[in-house]
């Protein structure tokens, strides 16, 4: 019996994935900020901050198998309980469709 062909997908690094998220968010009207270096900063603070009218999103990007640290989980919890319109999530490449739906929420032109 012939073996099924394997689909080989290149694994995204976290930095590559983060750049893809930022580009997509900017196309959807968000202004984004990413700390290039995190030295001397609070551990676990999310990778990306995206803002547009009525929404403030904090995004912790992970590789397909990356895990949250305790500090990262704590920051997401604090941010998610901070104020209306503020949302914080951990996202992975395999969750791209869900991520895009989340970013598009409230977008009138998509």
Give me the residues that bind Mg ion (CB under 5 A), please.
47, 61
CA dihedral 83, 84, 90, 91 (to 10 degrees): -150
Give a three-class secondary structure readout of 14-33: HHHHHHHHHHHHHHCCCEEE
Chain centroid, CA 104 distance in Å: 13
Q: What sign does the dihedral 39-43-47-48 (CA atoms) show?
A: negative
* Number of neighbouring beta carbons within 10 Å of residue 2: 4
Min dist CB 60 to Mg ion, Å, is 5
Min dist CB 90 to Mg ion, Å, is 8
Which residue, 22 or 47, has its beta carbon nearer to Mg ion? 47
Which residue, 35 or 104, has its beta carbon nearer to Mg ion? 35
Min dist CB 66 to Mg ion, Å, is 7
Min dist CB 47 to Mg ion, Å, is 4
Which residue, 30 or 59, has its beta carbon nearer to Mg ion? 59
Which residue, 34 or 52, has its beta carbon nearer to Mg ion? 34
């Amino acid at each position: 019996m012939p073996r099924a062909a394997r689909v080989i997908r290149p694994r995204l690094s976290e930095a590559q994935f983060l750049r893809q998220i930022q580009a997509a968010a900017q196309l959807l009207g968000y202004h984004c900020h990413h700390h290039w270096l995190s030295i001397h900063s609070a551990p676990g603070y999310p990778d990306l901050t995206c803002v547009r009218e009525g929404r403030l999103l904090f995004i912790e990007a992970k590789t397909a198998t990356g895990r949250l640290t305790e500090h990262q989980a704590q920051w997401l919890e604090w941010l998610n309980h901070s104020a209306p319109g503020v949302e914080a999530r951990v996202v992975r490449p395999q969750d791209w469709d869900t991520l895009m739906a989340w970013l598009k929420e409230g977008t009138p032109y998509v």
